[in-house]
Amino acid sequence: MKNRQQAQIITPDAYPQMLSKPNAARALETLRSTQTAVKAQAAMQAQIPAMRAAILGYVDELEHAQGDMAKVFEKAHDIRGFAETAGLVTTGRIADILCRYMDDMERIKKPPDPVLVALNVSAIGRAARAEDDNVAMGDAVAQELAALVAKRLAEAGQA
């Protein structure tokens, strides 16, 4: 039997402080300031084109992952994670519906319906490539997909 070492627990107050209390208070005040919020918002806005490009890359990978449900889930999860930040609200919402569906199907130990997955993947692609994220149309599509997913989950749970 190998000799195992016990993990050493270090209490939080045993670590050296990175900021003194006065400097921490000053840093917190700076972070809460309107000027910092304005600068942060400007920085985020400047990154939206790059984020959209990254999401479109994920969408391409998602569309090419047909049949590989693990990869479909991984890419949908990536898209869901930051699509809204890039202004692609509908894209993120549909990706979330797909992720929840796949999670729920795994939980009940049933395979996801490939047709339903493909429908969601197609909707994610269309939403991501839309020039203007039409909120009303996106809401309608997302609601219909959510209803279809709920119906399929109910059917799968009864089988």
Count of structural domains within the chain: 1
Q: Could you list the residue range(s) of the whole structural domain that residue 98 is in?
A: 51-158
C-alpha of 78 from chain center: 5
Gap between the Cα atoms of 56 and 45, Å rounded:
17
In a domain, 24, yes or no: no
**pLDDT tens-place values along the chain, 159 residues long:** 556 678 888 787 777 778 788 888 898 898 899 999 999 999 988 999 999 999 999 999 999 998 899 999 999 999 998 898 888 989 999 999 999 999 999 999 999 999 999 999 999 998 998 865 565 666 777 777 888 888 888 888 765
pTM (two decimals): 0.70
pLDDT given at position 85: 87
Whether 9 is in a domain gets the answer no
Q: Is residue 5 part of a domain?
A: no
What token pair was written down for 123? Answer: 């909707």
Which residues are CB-contacts of 18 (< 8 A; sequence separation ≥ 6)? none
Q: Contact, 83 vs 128, CB < 8 A?
A: yes
Residue 25 lies in a domain: no
Measured CA distances, 79 to 3, 56, 148 (Å): 45, 9, 21
Residue 18 lies in a domain: no
Classify residue 78: in a domain, yes or no: yes
Could you tell me the CATH number of the domain that includes residue 90? 1.20.120
Is residue 63 in some structural domain?
A: yes
Report yes or no on 13 lying in a domain: no
